[in-house]
Amino acid sequence: MCSPLSFLLSVLPLVATVSLWGENAGRDHSFFESKIRPVLATKCYECHSAEASKMKGGLRLDHIDLILKGGDTGPALVIAKPAESLILEAIGYDEPDFQMPPKEKLSQQVVDDFSQWISEGAIWPDEPVPTLLSSPQRNSFNLEKRKSAHWCWQPVTKPLVPKEGAFTQNPIDYFIGKRLIEAGLLPALATDKRTWLRRVTFDLTGFPPTLEEIEHFISDESGNAYKTAVDRLLDSDHFGEKWARHWMDLVRYAETCGHEFDYPLENPHEYRDYLIRAFNADLPYDQFLMEHVAGDLIDEPRRHRTEKFNESVIGTGFWYFHEAVHAPTDPKQDNADRMESQLDVFGKTFLGLTIGCARCHDHKFDAISEKDYYSLAAFMQGSNRQEYPLDLGGKREEISNEIEALCKSAFSSLSSKQEGFSTMQPPSKYWKGALQLTHSNYVDTGTDANFTGEVLVDFENGFGDWKPHGKAFQKPKLKGSTDTGSVTGYSGVGWASSLSKDPKKSLGSLRSPKIKVEHRFLNFSVGGGQFNEVGVELWADGNRLLVARGENSDELVPKSWDLLDYHLGEVEIRIVDQATGRWGHVHADQFEFSPFPVTPKPDKPVHTVFVVESYARSNGLVVQTLRAWCMHFIELDNLQSLAQRIERAKSSHNGLVHAEQNFIQNSQSFATFTSSEIPQGWKITGKAFKPRGHRLISFAGSNLFPSRNILSSHVLGDRRVGNLRSPHFKIEHDQILVRAKAKKGFMRVVIDHYHMGKHSGLLFGGTVIKEANSEDNFQWFSLSPKKYKGHWAYLEFVDRGTDAYLEIDQVRFANSGIGRSPDSRFSLLLGDEKIEASNLPEFLDGFLKKSFAKIHAGKFSGEEYEFLNYLYSEGLIPFGNQQTIPERLRQAEAIDSKTPRERYTLAMGEGSPFQGNVYVRGSPHKLGESVVGRNLTALGGQPGTRLDLANQLISGDNPLVSRVMANRIWLQFFGRGIVATPDDFGPMGQEPSHPELLDWLAHDFRENDWSVKNLIRKIVLSKTYRQSSLLNPSCDKEKVSFADPQNIFLHKMPIRRLQAEAIRDSILSFSGRIDRKLFGPSIPIYKTAFMTGRGGKKNGPLDGAGRRSIYGSVYRNFLSPFMLAFDQPAPFGTKGKRSVSNVPAQSLALMNDPFVISQCKMMGENVFQAKKLKSESMGNLFEMITGKPPSQAAQEKLLAFLETQTKFHGSLTKEVWADLAHVLINSKGFLFLN
Amino acid sequence: MLQSCAMGFGGLAFSALSNDSLASPLAPRRPHFTPRAKNVIFLYMDGGPSHVDIFDYKPALEKYNGKDPREVIGKLAPTQFDNIGKILKSPWEFKQRGQSGHWVSDLFPHIAQDDVIDEISMVKSMTSNFSEHTSANYFLHTGSGFQGRPSMGAWFGYGLGTENQNLPGFVVLNGGLIPPGGLDCFGSGFLPASYQGSVFLPQNEPVANIKPKEKTAELQKNKLSLLADLDKSSLEEMNFDRQVEAAIQNYETAYQMQTSVPELVDLTGESEVVKKSYGMDSDFKNTRTFGMQCLLARRLVQRGVRFIELTCPGGNGDRWDQHGGLVDGHGKNCKSVDQPIAALIRDLRKLGMLDDTLVVWTGEFGRTPFAQGSNGRDHNPFGFTTWFAGGGIKPGVTVGATDEFGYKAVENRYEIHDLHATMLHLLGIEHTESTFRFGGRDMRLTEVFGHLIKEIL
C-alpha cells in the first residue's frame, strides 16, 4: 500500500509540468524575483538576452519560453528536473569546457537557489517576451546566395582566343597581352638565352644549369632550341623532385608527430617518393586527386611501373601528416582537432576552400555550412588509418598464389588412397609399440633400493669431469649456502643446481663426458621445475632419449633409468636448465651405476634406432612415426601421461570450460569467425588474414590443417603480412576479449581514431597489445577500453610477417575478464565423457580413420582440427607415404623464401559508414543535427562513399579543382598566382587578376588529360615567361608606377629569390658533393647546438649525405634551421605560397654556417685540382655559380680579390679559391633569378 | 635607393639607407595608443609550477591532507597521468609579505622581500585550455594549441617593430631547456620570418652562425668588400629591385650582429656587486645560469630589444614538472630563479627601467592540489597563478581566486587569451586590431577571445 506522502511526491513533478505558464499568475514570484532574476540579469544578460550586443550560443535567458526553447545545445532547462537542466550543469562548473558565467563561478548558494527554482517548477511571471533591440545577428547564412555571388563557384568557361593577332601564338600571351594593352603597358623584351635557361632550369628541376648545358643551349641556334631544352628538363628525374616538394608544402609533409616527444610517423618517405614518381610520370591530375582522396578504394589500383605494387593507396597517406599528442585527456576533442587538420588541408589543397573555418559555425564568408563540414568529417570518422604493406614486384601476390595452389594440391594428394591416412596401421599399434619400447621390463624384486652402486659423480668436490655450458652451473651448491633456499634430499653436502637469484645467469647445462654403459641401471636424484626445458637428460648418438625432472619442488627425489638396450654403448648425461622464472631451475645429485634401481619402476630410454626399426618392420609400422611416438612418450606432456591422469585432467578441464561458458553467457559476442566468409564490415588488407579454407594443407608450423573456427594470418605461411580491422562500434563494456592463438601478433582497440597508444601507454594503457603470444594454444587476450565508454572505436589486428601470426576465433565484449582457457589441443579428448585411459588408443584409431572424410564434408569441428594438428605437430600421424609432407614442405619453403622484405606505407583504409552529428560550436560533447558522409552542398551535396566523393570532385561540374591546380602551377613560375591566395578562392581570398586566363588554363588542363607537364610546357614556352625582368625601354616608367606597380599584369618577369632547397642543392652541385640518387628513407637532419629538447632523433651528417634537400628528414620539433631561414614552411597546414623573408639569419648562414664553409672548401679544392689558368678557373667558377661569365669590370675585381687573398694565404692555394667561391655563394647574382 | 651610395661593411659608407620603402620590417612602429611599457621580459616557468606550493595558500589542504580528493573536492577532471593520489598539503610554510600582503611560501625568500613583492600583482585565477605540455606551451606562446602559429614575441615585433636594428626584436635566452614543442614555441608562424624568436644560448657562440669562421676579421672583410662590389653590379643589372636591395642591406645587419651580439653577452663591464646581486656567484650552478639570463635580459632591454623570453636551466628534476619528487624538484627550481628575478626587478627599478618594462612570470599551467602517486602533483590547467611586475601595472594587487583547494579558478577567471590581450594593451596595442590575413582569415594572437585584466591596469 502506498502512503499518502509518497503518493504526493510521485505526482508532484507532474503537477508542476502541467501547470504551465499563464496558469501560475497567482503564484508567489518572490523567490524568483529575489534570488533568480537578479542573478540572470547581472551575470547572464550581457550575452543571453534581447540586450546582448552579441548573442552567444543562440541562447536567451530573458524569458522562460526562450529558456525552454534553448540554444544551440538544446533546451537550457527541464522543468522540475535540475539534473537534466543544462543551465544548472553550466553554473555548477561540473564540466571543464562548459562553465558559465565564464569569468567567475557563482556561489554555491546561488547554484542551490537555481536548483530549487527549477525543482519547484521554474516559476516565471506572466510577461511578454522582450523584443530584440538590434536585428538578429544570428544566422544570416544563405548558402545558395553566397554561391551565386562569388566567382569561384561559377563554371569554368572556355574563353575565346582569337586566331589572328600579335599574341596568338600562345593563348597565354594573348590573355596577358590583352590586360597589358588595356592598361596601356608593353610587355618586356625577351630576355637573353642564358637568363632564360637559368630561370627554366631552376623552375623545372631546382638545380642550376651546368656549364655544359649552358654551352649546349647557347650554341643550339635551331628554332627548336627552347623546346628541346624544356623537353630535356621535363624528362629529367629531378623534375619530380622539384615539383613533389611544392606539393609537400600543401599537405604539411612531416616525418614526426611533433608535440612533447615528437614520435615518428610510419614510413612517410613512401609518400614523398610516390609524389616524385607521380610528377615524373606526369600522372593525370584527376587520377592524382582520386588517389589522394580514395586511393584505397579504387577497384583497379594503379601499379608501380616496374615494382608492381599498389601506387594508388600511397596517395591517401597525406591525410595523416597531422600533428599528434601522446596523452590527450579528451580523446573526442583530440579527434576533432585532428579532423580539422585533415579537412583544412583537404579543402585548401584541392578546392582552395577554407573548410576548416566551418568547424564551429557556418562559414563567415563562404558558401560552406557547419553541416557541410561535419558531412565531410563523417568520411574521416568512417575511415581507418593503417600501415599498408606494399607488394614489391607483385611477389607477395605471386608467392601467395603459388603457396595456395600447393596447399590445395597437398590436400588432394593426402586424400588420395596411396598417400593419405587410409593405408596406415592404426595409431593404437604405435601406442602399444612405443609403450613397449620405452617402458622397462624390470620387475621389482623388492630388494635393495639404496644408493650403493658405482659413483659416477656426487658433486662433493666440484663437478669432476662434467663440464658446464652457459652460466647456470658455476660450482656445486653446498649445504647451508645462502642462495639455495630450502633444498632437501641431496646426498652429502654438495649437489649440482641451477638455482640463482639472477635469472640471466640461470640458463645453461652441465654435461658428463661420454660414458660407456656397463651396468643395467643409472640411479640419481633430481628436483626443481617441471618444464620441458629443465631436467636431467640422457643423450646418445645426438638424440635425447630420456628426461627426468623435479615436480616443481626443491626436494631431490631418487630416479632410476633402465639402460638395458644401451649395454656397452656410449651415452652422455646432461643436467639442463633452459627456463627462467620461479621453477626454472634444476637440482641433481649422486649419479651411480648399479645392477639395481633405486625406484620400483625405472624409466627406460627410447630404444636404439636398430631396435625401433626391427620392431617397426615386424609389426608393419612406419619407422619414422614409431620413433616419433617413442620420443613423444618421453615428453613431459604426452598422450600416455594424459591417459594416466585423464580423470583429473577432465575435471580441471571441465572447470575451465564451465568458467568459459559462464563468461560467454555473461558477455556479448562481437564477432565469430566460423564461416568461410569474413563477417560483415570487417576489412582485410594484405595477404596474411584469410578466412579458413578447409580443403588445403597449410605449411605453417604446427598448423597443417587450418582450423575451422578461425580467421588465420598464416594459412599461407608465416611470411604473409597484413591487417584486419573490425567495423566501428561504440564502446559499452569494460573489456574486449579476443580468443586467439598468436605469436608476436599486434592487436589494439583504436578509440576515436587515436593511434598513438602504441607509443605511450599513459592514458591508453590496456588498449594495445604490441606482442600477443600464446604458445600454440588458444587464449583470451584482453583489451580494456574501460575509461572510454560511449566512444567510437574499432579493432585492429596486425601480422607483420616473418615469425608472427594471429589466429582469431572470436571477439567478445564483457565487463569482466576470464582467466586461463581450457587447453584447446585436448578439448576434444577431455570433453568426451566416453574416453578413459583404457580406450584412448582405440579412440585415436577411430578418430583418424574418419577424419579425412569429415574434413572433406566440412564437418570437422574446431576441436577436432586442434587435436589433429596436435597429433601432426608431434609427428604421430602415420601417413601412408611418409615422403609427401616433407617434400611439400620443402617446396613451400623454397617458394616462401623468395618473399621480399616487408615495406609499408601510411594509408587510409575503409572503415564503416558513419552516422554522426554536427558538433555544436566545434565541441564533440555537444551534438547537433545528424550527418552522413557527403560532398559540400555548394558542389552538389551528394551522399556516398569516399570514392564517390573523389569522383564528384573531378567531375566536369566542379569549377574548383582544375582552377586551383592550374593556379598553383602558374604561381611557381611567376611568384604570384593568378589568384594571389592559392589556398583560398573564397571571398576572403583575392580575385583572379586574369580570370579569362585562369579559366583558359583550367580548361586546357582538363582537356589535355590533366597533364601537369603539358601545362608547364605551355607556360615556360610562352613569351610571357621569356620576358626580361627589365621594363620594356619603350614603356613609360611613370605610367607603370601607377598602372601596375606590383607587376600583377606581368609587364616584365618578376625577380625571385631562390627557394631554400634550390640554394642548398645548388651549393652541393657546385661542390660536386651532390648525390643524385632518387628515393629512399630520409637522411636525419643535422642538429645544431640550438636544436635541443624532447624527442631528439639521431643526428645526421652536416652535408645531409650530399642528398637533395627533399630527402632530408622533416622532424617537426627539429626542423632544419637552414631550410627554415630560407622559408621552407613548418609543416602545420597548407602553404601554397611560401613567404619570402629577408632575415639576418639568412646572411649569417651563408656567411658562417659550417655546411656552407665546408662546401666552399670543396669548391676551392676542385678548382685548384683542375689546374687551369687562373682567368679560366675564375670565369668558370663565376659562371657555374651565377650562370654567366663575369663582365670585364667584374673580372678586374675578382682578380684584385684573388691577389689580396693570395697574399694572405701565401700563394694561390685552394683556400683562395674557396674564399672566392664563398663570396659568389653569397652574391645576389646567385641567390636571385631574374 | 642605393644607386648612388658607396657600399661597404662595418659602417664604412653604408649610410644612405633611410628610404622608407626599404624600411626594415623590424623598424619601430607607432602603437595604437600611448603605451605604458616598451618592452617585455617573459619569465617562462616551463613545466607548470605548483601554485599551491608557492603563491596560492590553501589551508584546506592541511585540513584534508591525506583524504581522497574525490570525496573532498568532488568530481575530478581527467588528469594527464590518471594516477590520482590523496589531497597533499604543501610541504612549505606560507606567510603574508609586504604591504601587498601577498602570500608567498618559503620557496621564494628573495621575491618575498618587501621591496620586491610589493612591485608584483598576481592573477590567481589564470586558466589554460590544455593539460598536456606541448599543446599548453603552444597555447601560452601563440594562443593556439597547435604548431605553426606566431609566438607572442613575433606578434609584438609585428605590431611594434624594435628599437635596435642590430639585434633581433624577439630574443629567447635559453637557460638550457627548450620547452616541449621545441623551437616552434618561438616561431613566426604565418608572420614573416623576420619576427621569429632568436634563441641565445649561454655558450661561446650564443647565436647560430654569429661567429665568423675566417681566421682574421680582415679576411672576412675582404670577402664582404668584393661581395658588395659584385652585388652593386647585380643590383644595377636587376634595375634596383627592392627585394635584392633589401637582401644586400640584410648583410649589413648580419655583419653588425656579429659585433653587437658578442658585445651584449660580454659582462666584463658589469660591476661585481651587480653580478653578485643576480646570484652569479651562487654555489648553485642553476642560480648562476639564470642570474646571467636575467642580467642579459636587462642588457637587452637597455639595447631596445622588444620581447625577451627566459627559459629555465636544466637539471632541476624534469623542468617544473614534478609528477614526483616535489620537494627536491621545486626546491631546486625555485632556488634557480628566486634571487635572479628579485635582483632583476630591483635592478630595473634602480635604473629607472621598471616602468617601461613589463615582467611576466608564469607556467603553462599549474599543478593539482592532490598528489600524483605520493610525492608529486599532476598538471592542472583549471586554475593557477601568473604574476606581473613593472610595465606600468598597478602593483601589489591580487586578482581572482581558485576554490578552497586551489583546484579550479572560481573568482574572476582569466584565460591565456586575456593574458595576451593585457600584455598587448600595456604596450599600446589593441589586441582586436592587430591582425594578419592568413588562410582567408584575419588572424589574431587572441583568436576571437581576450579580455583585459582590468584589475591590474
What pLDDT sits at residue A11? Answer: 38
pLDDT(A703) > 80? no
The alpha carbon of residue B261 is apart from the nearest alpha carbon of chain A, in Å, by 13
- In this predicted model, which residue has the larger pLDDT, A34 or A1153? A1153
Interface touch A327/B132, C-beta < 8 Å: yes
What pLDDT score does B95 carry? 96
- Report the Cα A1090 to chain-centroid distance in Å: 31
Nearest-CA distance B17 → chain A (Å): 16
Strands B441-443 vs A534-540: parallel, antiparallel or unpaired: unpaired
The secondary structure of B82-101 as a DSSP string is --EEEE---SS-EEEETTTT
Q: Residue range A1146-1167: average pLDDT?
A: 95
**Which residue, B385, B281, B372, is CA-closest to B318?**
B372
In this predicted structure, the answer to whether residue A911 has a pLDDT above a threshold of 50 is yes
Please list the alpha-helical segments (H only) found in B278-415.
Answer: 285-302, 326-350
Position A505 confidence tier, pLDDT thresholds 50, 70, 90: low
Which residues in chain A have Cβ-Cβ distances shorter than 8 Å to B259?
none
pLDDT above 80 for B227: yes
Is pLDDT at A179 greater than 70 in this prediction? yes
The fraction of chain A above a pLDDT of 90, given in percent, is 44
Cross-strand bridge partners of residue B310? B43, B173
Q: Which of B78, B148, B437 sits opposite A329 (nearest CB)?
A: B78
Q: What is the pLDDT of residues B140-156, one digit of tens each?
A: 999 998 877 899 999 99
Calculate mean pLDDT across residues A1064-1071. Answer: 97
Could you tell me if A43 lies within 8 Å of chain B, comparing CB atoms? no
Residues of A in contact with B180 (CB under 8 A): 259-260, 1093-1094
pLDDT score at A625: 86
Mean pLDDT value across residues A52-60 = 78
Chain B residue numbers with beta carbons less than 8 Å from the beta carbon of A1132 are: 146-149, 189
Whether A874 and A893 have beta carbons less than 8 Å apart is answered as no
Q: Stretch A732-737: mean pLDDT, rounded?
A: 95
The per-residue pLDDT for A1008 is 95
Region A363-387: mean pLDDT is: 92
Query: What's the pLDDT score for residue A444?
Result: 60
Write down the pLDDT at residue A341. 93
pLDDT confidence band for B11 (50 / 70 / 90) = very low
pTM assigned to the model: 0.82
pLDDT value, residue A695: 66
Region of residue B400 (phi > 0: left; psi between -120 and 50: alpha; otherwise: beta) = left
Phi and psi (nearest 5°) for A792?
A: -90, 130
- Contact status, residue A387 vs residue A723, Cβ threshold 8 Å: yes
Residue B240 CA: distances (Å) to CA of A1043, A1055, A1191: 19, 11, 18
pLDDT-wise least confident of A329-343, A354-368, A879-893, B68-82:
A879-893
By mean pLDDT, which of A409-418, A935-944, A1018-1027, A1156-1165 is the weakest?
A409-418
Per the omega criterion (within 30 degrees of 0), is the bond before A597 cis?
no
- Determine the longest span between alpha carbons in chain B, in angstroms: 80
Instruction: Give the mean pLDDT of chain B.
Output: 88
For residues A631-652, give the mean pLDDT: 85
Instruction: Give me the amino acid identity at A201.
Output: T
Q: By mean pLDDT, which of A356-370, A693-707, A1051-1065 is the weakest?
A: A693-707
Check pLDDT > 90 for residue B1. no
Structure-model confidence comparison of residues A1006 and A445, the more confident one? A1006
The shortest C-alpha distance from B177 to chain A (Å) reads 6
In this complex, do A1144 and B254 lie within 8 Å of one another by their Cβ atoms? yes
Q: Of A163-167, A471-475, B236-240, give the lowest mean pLDDT range.
A: A163-167
Which residues 559-598 of chain A have a CB within 8 Å of chain B?
none
A1231 in contact with chain B, both atoms CB, cutoff 8 A: yes
Q: What is the pLDDT of residues A461-487, one digit of tens each?
A: 888 889 999 888 888 888 877 666 788
- Closest CA of chain A from B62, distance in Å: 22
Q: How far is A1030 from chain B (nearest CA, A)?
A: 7
% of chain B at pLDDT higher than 90: 62
Encode pLDDT of A795-812 as tens digits.
Answer: 999 998 878 889 898 999
Interface test with A, best of B188, B190, B229, B230 (most A CBs within 10 A): B230
> Is residue A140 classed exposed, middle or buried when 0-12, 13-18 and 19+ CB atoms within 10 A define those classes?
exposed
pLDDT of residue B250: 83
Could you give the CA distance from residue B414 to residue B412 in angstroms, rounded to a whole number?
Answer: 6
C-alpha cell at A244: 613533389
A313-317, A819-823, A1052-1056: range with lowest mean pLDDT: A819-823
What is the Cα Rg of chain B in Å?
23
- Of residues B8 and A61, the one with the higher pLDDT is A61
Looking at the complex, report in whole angstroms how far the Cα of residue A1035 sits from the nearest Cα belonging to chain B. Answer: 14
d(C-alpha A106, C-alpha A88), whole Å: 11
pLDDT (tens digit per residue) in A187-227: 999 999 999 999 999 999 999 999 999 999 999 999 899 99
| CB-based contact, A762 to chain B, within 8 Å | yes
Mean per-residue pLDDT for A707-730? 85
SS3 content of chain A, % helix, strand, coil (to 5): 40, 15, 45
- The counts of H helices and E strands in chain A are 40, 30
Q: Which residues of A touch B184 (CB under 8 A)?
A: 258, 1116-1117, 1119, 1130
Span B281-296, average pLDDT: 93
DSSP string, B384-423: EEEEEEETTPPTT-EE-EE-TTSSSEEES-EEHHHHHHHH
Q: Which of A272-281, A493-502, A693-702 has the lowest mean pLDDT?
A: A693-702
Is A98 in the B-facing interface, judged by CB distances under 8 Å?
Answer: no
Percent of chain A with pLDDT over 70: 93
DSSP state letters, B13-41: S------GGG--TTS----SS--S-SEEE
**ipTM (interface predicted TM):** 0.77
For residue A12, name the pLDDT band (cuts at 50, 70, 90): very low
* CB count in 10 Å sphere of residue A839: 13
Over residues A639-664, mean pLDDT = 89
Q: Which residues pair with A810 in a beta bridge?
A: A672, A739
Is A731's pLDDT higher than 50? yes
Inform me whether the pLDDT recorded for A1223 exceeds 80.
yes
More confident of the two residues B116 and A859: B116
Q: Between these two residues, B421 and A106, which has the higher pLDDT value?
A: B421
- List CB contacts (< 8 A) between B148 and chain A: 1130-1133
More confident call, A472 vs B17: A472
- In which band, very low, low, confident or very high, does the pLDDT at A20 lie, cut at 50, 70 and 90? very low
Cα–Cα distances in angstroms (integers) from residue B449 to residues A112, B143, B159, B446, in the given order: 30, 10, 18, 5
Across A318-332, average pLDDT: 92
Residue A101's pLDDT band (boundaries 50, 70, 90)? confident
| pLDDT tops 80 at residue B114 | yes
Share of chain B above pLDDT 70, in %: 94
Q: How confident is the model at residue A897 (pLDDT cuts 50, 70, 90)?
A: confident
Quote the mean pLDDT of chain A. Answer: 87
Q: What is the pLDDT of residues B407-432, one digit of tens each?
A: 999 999 999 999 999 999 999 999 99
Q: Is the pLDDT of residue A312 over 90?
A: yes
**pLDDT of A944 higher than 90:** yes
- Window B:208-247, CB contacts with A under 8 Å: 208-213, 218-220, 222-223, 226-227, 229-231, 233-235, 237-239, 241, 243-244, 246-247
Structure confidence at residue A142 as a pLDDT band (50, 70, 90):
confident
B430 CB near a chain A CB, below 8 Å? no
A1119 in contact with B at a CB cutoff of 8 Å?
A: yes
- Among A471-485, A591-605, B27-41, B411-425, the range with the most confident prediction by mean pLDDT is B411-425
Instruction: Please count the other Cβ atoms lying within 10 Å of the Cβ belonging to residue A581.
Output: 10
Across the range A1153-1161, mean pLDDT stands at 96
User: Distance (Å, rounded) from C-alpha A1188 to C-alpha A194?
Assistant: 7
